[in-house]
Structures are given as C-alpha cells and as structure tokens.
Amino acid sequence: MNDKTKEPWLQLCEQAAVEQDPERLLKLVNEISRMLDEKNQRIQQGSPPDSSG
C-alpha cells in the first residue's frame, strides 16, 4: 500500500511513531482516536466508507 492509498489515520500513526514533540504527539494521538471512533461508528451503522478514512 502506498501513501496515496493508506487511510488517513494510518498516515497519522506513522507520524506519531517518530514524533519528538510531546504536544504534537498528543495532538496526533487525539486526531487518530477521533478518526477511528468515526470509522467505528460508520461500521456499526453499516454506512459505506468515505474518503476520510
């Protein structure tokens, strides 16, 4: 899977894995969590996936 086909939350995970700034890391983790919560809600509702991950 290349960068163009990776889900946005996965790209953020890769950034978080190498982030050195604690504040930036916290922002990345919060955004990842939000994106995954939204994805989980869509899956539970049976909605088709969209391009936001």
pLDDT in tens, 1-53: 566 788 999 999 999 999 999 999 999 999 999 999 999 999 999 866 665 55
Give the global pTM: 0.76
Say how far residue 26 (Cα) sits from the centre of its chain: 13
- The answer to the question of residue 41 being in a domain is yes
- The two tokens of residue 50 are 């969209």
Give residue 6's identity as a one-letter amino acid code: K
- The answer to the question of residue 50 being in a domain is no
Look-up of token digits 């922002």 = 27
Give the pLDDT score at 35. 96
Give the pLDDT score at 4. 72
- The answer to the question of residue 28 being in a domain is yes
Gap between the Cα atoms of 17 and 13, Å rounded: 6
**Residue span of the structural domain in which 26 resides:** 8-45
Give the pLDDT score at 1. 57
Look-up of token digits 């990842």 = 32
Structural domains counted in the chain: 1
- The answer to the question of residue 37 being in a domain is yes
Gap between the Cα atoms of 9 and 13, Å rounded: 6
